[in-house]
Amino acid sequence: MQMSPTNIFAPVSTPADSIFGLSIFVLVTMAAIFVVVFALLAYAVVKFRSRPGDDRREPAQIYGSTQLELAWTVIPVLIVVALFLAAARVIASVQNPPRPSGALEVIVTGHQYWWEYRYPHLNIVTANELHVPLSDPAHPSPTFLTLLSADTDHSFWVPRLAGKTDLIPNHPNQMWIDPHQTGVFVGQCAQYCGTQHAKMLLRVYVQPRDEFERWVQQQQRRASGASPGAASMRGERVFESTACVNCHVVSGTPANGRFGPDLTHLMSRDTIAAGAAPNTPQMLRLWIRNPDAIKPGSKMPAMGLSDQDVDAVATYLETLR
Amino acid sequence: MATTTIAISGYPAAPRPFTLRLHDWVTTVDHKRLGILYILYSLIFLVLGGIEAAIMRWQLIRPHNNLVSPEVFNRMFTMHGTTMIFFVAMPMLFGFANYLVPLMIGARDMAFPRLNAFSFWMSALGGMLLYFSFLGGDGLYGAGSAPDVGWFAYAPLTAKTFSVGHSTDFWILSLLVSGIGSVGTAINIIATILCMRCPGMTLGKMPLLVWLNLTMAVLVILAVSPLTAAQIMLLVDRYVGGHFFDTQAGGSAVIWMHFFWIFGHPEVYVLVLPAFAFASEIIPVFSRKAIFGYSVMVLATVAIAFISMSVWAHHMFTVGMGAGANIFFVLSTMAIAVPTGIKIFNWLATMWGGKIHFATPMLFCIAFLFQFLVAGLTGVTLAVAPFDWQLGNSYYVVAHFHYVIVGGILFTAFAAFYYWFPKISGRMYNEALGKLHFWLFLIGFHLTFDFMHIPGLLGMPRRIYTYEPGRGWDIWNLIVTIGVAFQAAGVLVFAANLVLSYFRGRAAGNDPWDAWTLEWSTSSPPPEYNYAVVPSVRSRRPLWDLKHPEDPDWRYE
């Protein structure tokens, strides 16, 4: 269980941590009840079985007992009250957290089948890979996520950081994380959203403050644009003269579509297709040529480009750092 | 007591031609025949829904498997869920209610025999509409296609924008039509129980099965009506420009969730109360003791029904309802564990001090007690809203509700099949095959649904057609899929047992279990009119009184 990168019992952020503590209390209580009732049932089944040598007389008929009924009503009520109070406390602490002034804000928009991230105060737009700073428990710098949807229902679930919260059109939601461990934390969409729900994967990069600042500066730069190499220049022309621009943004160029992920800094990402494939030259070319080969049913169409054009577009995209 | 049958002169002794017998079945208004039709119909759909489950499990046997496309997988889980709830569980339980309730209250038929037939055929039409979508539910490219929006069909995935073609329309219509049948049967059950009890059978002397079905029927009316309303609203959205759930025009996806779950959660109790009903009849007979705490059992039943109407939004803890609403639904949901726990303890006390006979029906009931205990406890973990933020929509939830529906409801339904098979067919089933079925199904159930909890705890969401390697889910999914083979084998043995015993089983006689309720006082199978002389009763166990005149129940009740 320790090996799983999505284990709910290995929290690294306060909301996941509070849930973890509560869940242990609940599981221990349930296990205790299970052992007691299981033992009683097993005892009754073994002890009161009819035996071959029995006489044919019926056992004593007992119709009920008020004391017993009261006991097994009152005791469960007390257990329920204890569990309820514990749950209410965690609900209040996770749903109404203090909001320090240094908190980072990110607007998460779910799309069929990818994630859009906007950092309104930093003027950054990116996709599928969320970067957040490490939060020192002594000086917390949490990240607050506003959850929106562009189409159907989705759910943001990175088990080691927090429980899931749904992204519902016309119904903005909030959640927060304050990871106290660096690394890449994975998860995936947890509300069925259409054909490729399964490959709507989540990657959250938790970085030390200085590393996060460097990432911010790099994202804020204008894309370098097509370097004066013949192939990438031709690739940019192909990109800008086909339907690519209807769905994708490359800032500073005519490409300003909003339907698909922003590609301005595509090469700063480890994965493509919402985490379905690594961002390698081969995968990028395969994805452009035939998206269904990686993610059947994805909204990215196969553009029917010639091999030369695919290669040129990919070469151009590889300049977007 | 009515233990004789009337010979009717002129009644044809020779077997009637097949077409005439078929005509008899299609036009029947006899509650017993309609009950059998309901049950057979549900068994056909059980096989269909089981095949859909097997396809899903085969696809998930390893990561990045390519047995089926995502489109097909999504149709499979939508059809599996819709089929199993609406066209297996409900008709199966309605079938038993139809067959048993009039017999157990000493009536000659249901209150409204024609409504009964109408309701059955509406349900049948609903199932056919759903499966016709495989042929007629044109998708965008004109290919045949089944619904793929999930069995709770969250908006706005069902809007025309996202669900083109007509597969979603077939889904809507099939539930709309079968819902009318369900409400018809519910009204019929209520009217029958309230108006047609035999002399002496006051409400407090009804067998528990009758009480539980009465409560179930009330819940059906309360739960199915909002679902029907929501289906009509969705049709309005799709065809005449309504915006109830169309979020692109300002509609609300959350309202659909409320409508669906105010149906969906009481529906769980619609299904589980009849399961409790079977257990409450079978456990006493095979423990040779009266049910412990009859009146508390009735109170707990009614309490479950009341509370179940106030818990629906525990399906929506991740929707962003605000702390106050979440806290309310934590409390109401946990509250339901109390009357449910009372029931388990009363069954336990019924066995305590008895002489337990391990015939197949009792084996299934004992397994039910253990499994329902686990299902209830995992249910409490899910009721704890923060825990649900992790567990909701994961495989843990899938494991939990299959524990309820298979481990609870299907196990007691199997118990009921074996217990009443002698009454319905007039023949005994084969005990060895029955036990083989039990053990195969028990092993398969636990392989599949015990281990299914684990990938959920490790972050595996439901409804994904494939998954990434390296998440620690592979081995568990493999074990879960292996369990399916055992369950399928168990069901094959069950089917073989039913067919063989129907033709070859030895005659059962009126009362093979030495039982205590009225249905065992008439012949097996009962004549069309059930009782030649309407019986009259003095206690909850009229046949006990008859068999033990020195120590009748009515002295103590």
Look at residue B144 in the predicted model and tell me its pLDDT: 63
Domain assignment of residue B11, yes or no: no
Model confidence at A56: pLDDT above 90: no
| Residue A241's CATH number | 2.60.40.420
Report chain A residues whose CB lies below 8 A from the CB of B454.
Answer: 1
Task: Tell me how close the Cα of B548 comes to any Cα of chain A, in angstroms.
Answer: 10
Q: Is B8 in a helix, a strand, or coil? A: coil
Domain assignment of residue B21, yes or no: no
Mean pLDDT value across residues A244-272: 95
Dist CA B184 CA B263 (whole Å): 17
Structural domain count of chain B: 1
Dist CA B531 CA B510 (whole Å): 13
Look at residue B2 in the predicted model and tell me its pLDDT: 45
Residue with tokens 């496309």: B69
Look at residue A55 in the predicted model and tell me its pLDDT: 77
Dist CA A147 CA A156 (whole Å): 8
How many other CB atoms sit within 10 Å of the CB of residue B242?
16
Domain assignment of residue A117, yes or no: no
A200-254 per-position pLDDT tens digit: 999 999 999 999 999 999 999 887 655 667 788 999 999 999 999 999 999 989 9
Length of chain A equals: 321
Q: Is A48 in a helix, a strand, or coil? A: coil
A279-294 per-position pLDDT tens digit: 999 999 999 999 999 9
Mean pLDDT value across residues B103-121: 97
Look at residue A59 in the predicted model and tell me its pLDDT: 93
Quote the radius of gyration of chain B (alpha carbons, Å): 24
Cβ-contact A179, A13 below 8 angstroms = yes
How many other CB atoms sit within 10 Å of the CB of residue B342?
22
- Among partner residues A62, A83, A192, which is closest to B289 by beta-carbon distance? A62
Look at residue A1 in the predicted model and tell me its pLDDT: 45
* Residue closest to A205 by CA, chosen among A126, A123, A94, A102: A126
Structural domain count of chain A: 1
Domain assignment of residue A274, yes or no: yes
Look at residue B311 in the predicted model and tell me its pLDDT: 96
What are the backbone dihedrals phi and psi of residue A12, each rounded to the nearest 5 degrees, phi first? -130, 25
Note whether B390 contacts A19, CB cutoff 8 Å.
yes
Cβ-contact A156, A167 below 8 angstroms = yes
Quote the radius of gyration of chain A (alpha carbons, Å): 27
Task: Tell me how close the Cα of A112 comes to any Cα of chain B, in angstroms.
Answer: 10
Q: Which residue of A has its CA nearest to B163?
A: A194
Tokens of A159: 């088990």
Provide the domain limits for residue B166. 27-555
Look at residue B139 in the predicted model and tell me its pLDDT: 57
Domain assignment of residue B338, yes or no: yes
Mean pLDDT value across residues B34-49: 97
Domain assignment of residue B3, yes or no: no
- Encode B33-90 in three state secondary structure: HHHHHHHHHHHHHHHHHHHHHHHHHHHCCCCCCCCCCHHHHHHHHHHHHHHHHHHHHH
Report chain B residues whose CB lies below 8 A from the CB of A155.
Answer: 318, 393, 461
Domain assignment of residue B501, yes or no: yes
Domain assignment of residue B14, yes or no: no
Measure Cα distances from B132 to B73, B135, B136 in Å: 18, 5, 6
Tokens of B151: 């069995």
| Residue B517's CATH number | 1.20.210.10
Mean pLDDT value across residues B249-270: 96
Measure Cα distances from A241 to A132, A235, B533 in Å: 35, 10, 89
Mean pLDDT value across residues B159-166: 90
Portion of chain B with pLDDT greater than 90, in percent: 93
Q: So what's the ipTM on this one?
A: 0.96
| Contact residues for A266 (Cβ-Cβ < 8 A; gap 6+) | A272, A279, A317, A320
Domain assignment of residue A50, yes or no: no
Model confidence at B120: pLDDT above 80: yes
- Among partner residues B334, B389, B472, which is closest to A19 by beta-carbon distance? B389
Look at residue A223 in the predicted model and tell me its pLDDT: 72
Mean pLDDT value across residues B446-468: 97
Domain assignment of residue A300, yes or no: yes
Look at residue B7 in the predicted model and tell me its pLDDT: 52
Report chain A residues whose CB lies below 8 A from the CB of B457.
Answer: 1, 7-9
Model confidence at B1: pLDDT above 50: no
Dist CA A40 CA B73 (whole Å): 43
Residue with tokens 């779910």: A110
Measure Cα distances from B352 to A50, B348, B470 in Å: 12, 6, 49
Q: How far is CA A20 from the centre of its chain?
A: 17
Report chain B residues whose CB lies below 8 A from the CB of A64.
Answer: 292-296
Return the axis-axis angle of helices A14-47 and B337-351, rounded to nearest 10°.
20
- Among partner residues A16, A30, A73, which is closest to B342 by beta-carbon distance? A73
Task: Quote the mean pLDDT of chain B.
Answer: 95
Mean pLDDT value across residues B202-225: 97
Provide the domain limits for residue A303. 230-317
User: Which of B160, B285, B318 would best serve as a mutation to test chain A binding (most A beta carbons within 10 A)?
Assistant: B318
Measure Cα distances from B388 to A9, A81, A211 in Å: 13, 18, 34
Residue with tokens 């079925």: B437
Q: How many CB pairs (< 8 A) connect A and B?
A: 279
Note whether B386 contacts A163, CB cutoff 8 Å.
yes
Model confidence at B492: pLDDT above 90: yes
Dist CA A280 CA B234 (whole Å): 44
Domain assignment of residue A176, yes or no: no
